[in-house]
Chains A and B, each alone.
Chain A
């Protein structure tokens, strides 16, 4: 007994249809992966995100900033090799109000990174992970107080 499908196959099967194959191939291909932004933008987009994400973003920004500062600092300190006059020229610029402001920014970065790092060391070791939000905000408040004191001292020394 012949298979009815054979007849149907014989009557409907055309030659290769490249356009149809291309459409089928496109539909089989993996679809786009939706991301929250291009590349590392997702690390820094804290809109509608929790305190933990804010902490992560700020830690990353301050960390990268401090790495940049490390090399900037070594470069600046290299001026000491040029002797007293070279360093004095630098100090004339470094004691300008704008630069003192940058010092305050540096202290802000150190406090944010350092205090959140303390939270990460504790929580990441498995201690009090369910209290991480309270720990984060407490440390940031403490840091803000320290920053205020430092800023008053630095800016007030003019």
Chain B
């Protein structure tokens, strides 16, 4: 697709085709810069225009150096996570029409910024218990079992590893060693459906001052999660498991 074709496709989505001009304030930082700053743009917006559409319009029509991540455009990959007006959100499904006034767009908090709205996700991934299975056996395998009570069943695969929970967490704001909601929710999910993972090592990993016991039940991770993982509830469930665990000298 040429730039012109892309711009045309952009306009058909709603960006550039709207009756209103929306004011946007976008965080800018290139590595090597002394400090970050914000650039302001007026973006034509229609009813269906999302934050991602607006940012893409800015890239195509105003500033091609604006860096942002995206992939699926329908909230299933988690790549476009950022902060909109101070709240964590996926850009692809956040409509400008649902936001009032000037829309401020910033990268996720608590992770190093690589470029404008793009953060380094490596510190997020590193927090997960290591090693952990990246590829999991298919749920259609006959030996796979579901937890008791179908209503209680939630697939860990709901987690799209977007990082919104880590950005929203007030503990992660001051403690980079805190493993964070996603990793803890993952650990609890492994306990629920271990598929060969060693329960005791999961519990040992979770039973640390910078793991399950660092959470202060602010529940911001659950508020931010776009994928119904409910990490805070899972951390509390993980704690319930830990409380029942007998301590033994290491």
Taking Cβ atoms with an 8 Å cutoff, the residues of A that contact B are 23, 26-37, 39-40, 42-43, 47-53, 55-57, 59, 119-120, 123-126, 129-130, 132-133
Contacts and interface: CB of A to CB of B under 8 A. Distances in A.
Most buried by B among A28, A40, A132: A132
Which of A33, A57, A125 has most B Cβ within 10 Å? A33
Contacts of A50: 218-220, 223
Interface stretch (B15-23, B51-59, B104-112, B189-197): B104-112
Nearest to B221: A52
A47 B111 CA distance: 21
B125 interface: no
B173 A36 contact: yes
B66 interface: no
Contact of B112 (A27, A30, A47): A30
Contact of A39 (B32, B86, B174, B218): B174
A51 B173 CA distance: 18
19 contacts: A28-B31, A31-B113, A31-B114, A31-B120, A34-B27, A34-B107, A39-B174, A43-B170, A50-B218, A50-B220, A50-B223, A52-B219, A52-B222, A52-B232, A53-B170, A120-B216, A123-B236, A132-B217, A133-B219
A68 B219 CA distance: 27
Contact of B113 (A28, A34, A42, A48): A34
Contacts of B120: 30-31
A34 B218 contact: no
Interface residues of B, number: 41
A58 to B, nearest CB: 11
B233 A56 contact: no
A32 B36 contact: yes
Contact of A26 (B32, B109, B173, B222): B32
Contacts of B170: 36, 42-43, 53, 56-57
A55 B30 CA distance: 37
Contact of A126 (B107, B113, B236): B236
SS of A interface (majority): helix
B111 A53 contact: no
Contacts of A29: 31
Contacts of A133: 219
B7 interface: no
Given A31-B120, A40-B174, A124-B236, A53 B218 contact: yes
B173 A32 contact: no
A59 to B, nearest CB: 8
A52 B232 CA distance: 10
Contact of B173 (A31, A42, A47, A123): A42
Nearest to B230: A130
B136 interface: no
B136 to A, nearest CB: 25
A117 to B, nearest CB: 11
